[in-house]
Chains A and B, each alone.
Chain A
Amino acid sequence: NAGVTQTPKFQVLKTGQSMTLQCAQDMNHNSMYWYRQDPGMGLRLIYYSASEGTTDKGEVPNGYNVSRLNKREFSLRLESAAPSQTSVYFCASSQGGNQPQHFGDGTRLSIL
């Protein structure tokens, strides 16, 4: 029962470097999401994909891009990392409708 799998679990980057966070789900869910969580801020939506082939901005999309590669995979890319992007990143998926989201165990990203 893998559920939602995120890689890597930890990463340290230097300012200006780029990287891609990977997310895959095996629950045949239509919708996938990327959040960041900072102390005292709660979860904030970066981007989401309601279904394969579509992506939309959330509340904090600046500095990020996403790709819904297929129904299973949804990646988040930082083109030029900044210290303000130091955070814990969670990927989630849901079937939609009145169904809840299911989360991966997160990527802890530090940008120096």
Chain B
Amino acid sequence: RKEVEQDPGPFNVPEGATVAFNCTYSNSASQSFFWYRQDCRKEPKLLMSVYSSGNEDGRFTAQLNRASQYISLLIRDSKLSDSATYLCVVRYDSGTYKYIFGTGTRLKVLA
């Protein structure tokens, strides 16, 4: 089993739709969680950190469920410009400073 798993998609949604992605992680010692966005093999860019109480940034909402070991990303009112691959990242507090990346979920927002 992969340490961090994501549905690769693609998720094809119309403009204005709400879409949600989940990401599961296997190590309960995971401490820090992030969502990144990556466009067409450009560098990953931080979208948002995920906090225990959940957090929102404009149209984006991130949630953490430690009991079930998953994080989620909700995008409301999808824009064409949201089309990208969304990467889930988990960092373990093991002193190794490693970040574990999922392989990403591809989103296509259709006009």
Contacts and interface: CB of A to CB of B under 8 A. Distances in A.
Given A42-B103, A42-B104, A50-B97, A98 B91 contact: yes
* Interface footprint category on A: 20 to 34
Contacts of B43: 90, 103-106
Nearest to A39: B41
Contacts of B61: none
Interface in A83-112: 88, 90, 94, 96-106
* Interface footprint category on B: 20 to 34
Contacts of B34: 100
Contact of B98 (A41, A58, A103): A58
A100 B97 contact: no
Nearest to A43: B101
Contacts of A101: 46, 89, 99
Interface in B30-68: 31-32, 34, 41-46, 49
A74 interface: no
B102 A103 contact: no
A100 B74 CA distance: 20
Interface of A: 31, 33, 37, 40-43, 45, 48, 50, 56, 58, 88, 90, 94, 96-106
Interface of B: 31-32, 34, 41-46, 49, 87, 89, 91, 96-99, 101-104
7 contacts: A42-B103, A43-B101, A94-B97, A94-B99, A100-B32, A100-B34, A103-B45
The 9 closest A-B CB pairs, nearest first, are A42-B103, A103-B43, A98-B32, A43-B101, A50-B97, A105-B43, A100-B34, A100-B46, A31-B97
